[in-house]
């Protein structure tokens, strides 16, 4: 079952039976299937993750089946849930995967149980599935490396979880679920709300014409003075295209991004056709908290030009 992205918390009546709010950790969606003599750790696209995460696989094999658990696979590093470290771990196999498991162990943060020894639970309401999941932890069936996803029915707590400070710890936002909802595979019946914060950056290149850019490629300087890519904006509104087009100037042949290639999106092999511009215009943008080594994973939203900020005086990023 999937979630539909929304910009803000929905009304209490948006989903059946009232609302529950769960933290959304920054990780890989994974479903663990445990049978009497089998175990399968499935990614969202159906791949087997067990070979890359042997510690989760071993813990899964030790569970009593039948059991089907839905959750988010995460790796902690430097005091937060770290998506980059999770990606690196997902590429390891064999002895390399075992070494990575010892150095950066993974956890499976569980938010749903779809089947137990008593039978399938997909048609049961969320409140009953959640109670069954909590009981599995309470009676000791589930423990580390499995963890129970924090959940609440208190809207004020959910709003607190949307504070960008949670993003710094690797919590992307919240998922909203109806207390009376069954589990419907493939349907976007839940609601996802991402935590967002604002930041400033230099416009270093654009897609589309410089006089009316379609999107902005944003940068900050590191300690060596190098322009480091940090984000790409979502498509600009007409008013923003006109406003920025009047301020931007084409970059010269010595622009550091001249000839540089950028991906059209996270996980995409398509390359952007971009036009470097003079790195003098500073803009404010809003982005979610999915940031990997200083780079925003998802498109950000342009807010305004910052005439009050000098490009050379922005805080530096680490090399």
Q: What is the CATH number of the domain that holds 183?
A: 3.30.470.30
Q: Is residue 102 part of a domain?
A: yes
Q: 218-237 burial by CB neighbour count: b if 16+ within 10 A, else e? A: bbbbeeeeebbbbbbbeebe
Are 153 and 241 members of one domain?
no
Last residue of a domain, one of 155, 179, 194: 194
Task: Report the 3 state secondary structure along 220-254.
Answer: EEECCCCEEEEEEECCCCHHHHHHHHCCCCECCCC
What pLDDT is recorded for position 314?
87
Q: Is residue 126 part of a domain?
A: yes
**In the chain, which residues have pLDDT < 50?**
none
Are 134 and 220 members of one domain?
no
Are 200 and 87 members of one domain?
no
What tokens appear for 27 in the block? Answer: 């990780």
Beta bridge partners of 62: none
Are 144 and 28 members of one domain?
yes
What pLDDT is recorded for position 268?
64
Are 113 and 35 members of one domain?
yes
CA distance 215 to 71: 34
CA distance 40 to 194: 30
Work out whether strand 39-43 and strand 188-194 pair parallel, antiparallel, or are unpaired. unpaired
CATH of the domain at 241: 2.40.50.140
Q: Cβ(207)–Cβ(238) under 8 Å?
A: no
Are 186 and 212 members of one domain?
no
> If DSSP codes are grouped into helix, strand and coil, which group holds residue 55?
helix
Q: Is residue 258 part of a domain?
A: yes
Q: Is residue 184 part of a domain?
A: yes
Q: Is residue 82 part of a domain?
A: yes
What pLDDT is recorded for position 141?
96
What pLDDT is recorded for position 309?
84
Q: Is residue 319 part of a domain?
A: no
Last residue of a domain, one of 164, 179, 194: 194
Phi, psi of 195 (to 5 degrees): -70, 140
What pLDDT is recorded for position 319?
60
Q: Is residue 242 part of a domain?
A: yes
Are 106 and 243 members of one domain?
no
Last residue of a domain, one of 129, 159, 194: 194
Q: What is the dihedral of CA 286, 292, 294, 300, to 10 degrees?
A: -20
pLDDT tens-digit readout, 257-273? 999 998 877 666 678 89
Confidence (pTM): 0.76
Task: Give residue 179's domain range.
Answer: 2-194
What pLDDT is recorded for position 78?
84
What pLDDT is recorded for position 156?
95
Are 185 and 253 members of one domain?
no
What pLDDT is recorded for position 167?
83
Beta bridge partners of 70: 31, 112
Place of tokens 């006109």: 242
Are 9 and 87 members of one domain?
yes
What pLDDT is recorded for position 222?
92
Q: What is the dihedral of CA 146, 152, 155, 157, to 10 degrees?
A: -60
Are 215 and 119 members of one domain?
no
* Residues labelled as active-site residues: 24
Q: Around Cβ 10, how many Cβ atoms within 10 Å?
A: 13
Q: Around Cβ 51, how many Cβ atoms within 10 Å?
A: 14
Are 27 and 167 members of one domain?
yes
- Name residues whose C-beta falls within 8 Å of residue 235's C-beta, 6 or more positions apart in sequence: 214, 215
Q: Is residue 46 part of a domain?
A: yes
Are 103 and 17 members of one domain?
yes
Q: At what angle do helices 54-61 and 94-103 cross, to 10 degrees?
A: 90
Q: What's the domain count of the chain? A: 2
């Amino acid at each position: 079952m999937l979630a539909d992205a929304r910009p803000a918390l929905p009304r209490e009546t948006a989903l059946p039976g009232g609302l529950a709010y769960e933290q959304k950790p920054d990780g890989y969606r994974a479903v663990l299937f445990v049978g009497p003599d089998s175990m399968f750790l499935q990614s969202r696209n159906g791949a087997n993750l067990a070979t890359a995460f042997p510690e989760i696989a071993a813990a899964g094999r030790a569970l009593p089946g039948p059991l089907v658990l839905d959750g988010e696979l995460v790796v902690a590093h430097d005091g937060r849930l770290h998506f980059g470290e999770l990606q690196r771990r997902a590429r390891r196999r064999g002895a390399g995967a075992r070494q990575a498991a010892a150095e950066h162990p993974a956890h499976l943060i569980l938010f749903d149980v779809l089947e137990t020894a008593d039978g399938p639970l997909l048609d049961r309401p969320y409140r009953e599935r959640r109670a069954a999941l909590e009981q599995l932890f309470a009676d000791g069936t589930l423990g580390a490396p499995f963890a129970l996803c924090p959940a609440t029915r208190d809207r004020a707590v959910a709003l607190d979880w949307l504070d960008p400070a949670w993003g710094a710890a690797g919590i992307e936002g919240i998922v909203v679920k109806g207390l009376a909802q069954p589990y419907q595979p493939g349907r976007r019946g839940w609601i996802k709300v991402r935590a967002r914060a604002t930041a400033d950056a230099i416009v270093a290149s654009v897609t589309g014409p410089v006089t009316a850019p379609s999107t902005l490629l944003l940068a900050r300087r590191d300690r060596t003075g190098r322009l480091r890519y940090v984000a790409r904006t979502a498509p600009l509104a007409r008013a923003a295209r006109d406003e920025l087009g009047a301020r931007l100037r084409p970059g010269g042949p010595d622009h550091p991004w001249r000839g540089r290639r950028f991906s059209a999106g996270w996980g995409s092999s398509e390359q952007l056709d971009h036009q470097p511009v003079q790195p003098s215009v500073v803009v404010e943008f809003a982005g979610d908290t999915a940031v990997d080594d200083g780079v925003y994973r998802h498109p950000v939203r342009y807010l305004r030009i910052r005439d009050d900020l000098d490009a050379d005086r922005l805080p530096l990023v680490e090399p």
